[in-house]
Amino acid sequence: MNRRARADALRARQETAEAGRSKMGGPRPFGITEDRVTHHPAEARAVRELAGRALAGETLRSLTAWLQDQGVRTVGGNEWRSTTVRQLLINPRMWGMRVHRCQVIGPAA
């Protein structure tokens, strides 16, 4: 890719992020449907429950065990790990923000 094409691609990604739209690559985020905007009903309930339990002081280990006991799997169908639960809970996307280049840049679509 030449410099001009690379600069154009970077500018397009920046514009997409500033508009609050999601990038369309990789697996969908947990709690969000394939359109990257609509909440997945069952997964969104699990996210809300996790957030409430975390705010009440439960440990990541107990939250992970709860997900396993409930039969909730990751988007890839895997069992949860405490590091993955942590990433889910601290992801600004879960509270409606758009991140670009590791910075929150505004509300998500």
Q: DSSP string covering 23-45, please?
A: P--SSPPTTB-TTSSSBPHHHHH
Q: Torsion over CA of 91, 96, 97 and 98, rounded to 10 degrees?
A: 90
| CA torsion through residues 10, 12, 17, 22, sign | negative
Higher pLDDT: 3 or 55? It is 55
Q: Could you tell me the pTM of the whole model?
A: 0.70
pLDDT band at 73, cuts 50/70/90? very high
Q: In the numeric block, which tokens belong to residue 104?
A: 């929150």
Structure tokens at 102: 């590791």
CA gap 40, 23 in Å, rounded: 18
Check residue 27 and give its pLDDT.
85
Residue-wise pLDDT for 15-60, tens only, equals: 665 555 556 567 888 998 988 788 899 999 999 999 999 999 999 9
Question: Above 80 in pLDDT, residue 107?
Answer: no
More confidently predicted of 92 and 88:
88
Mean of per-residue pLDDT scores for the chain: 84
Q: What is the pLDDT of residues 92-106, one digit of tens each?
A: 887 777 777 777 777
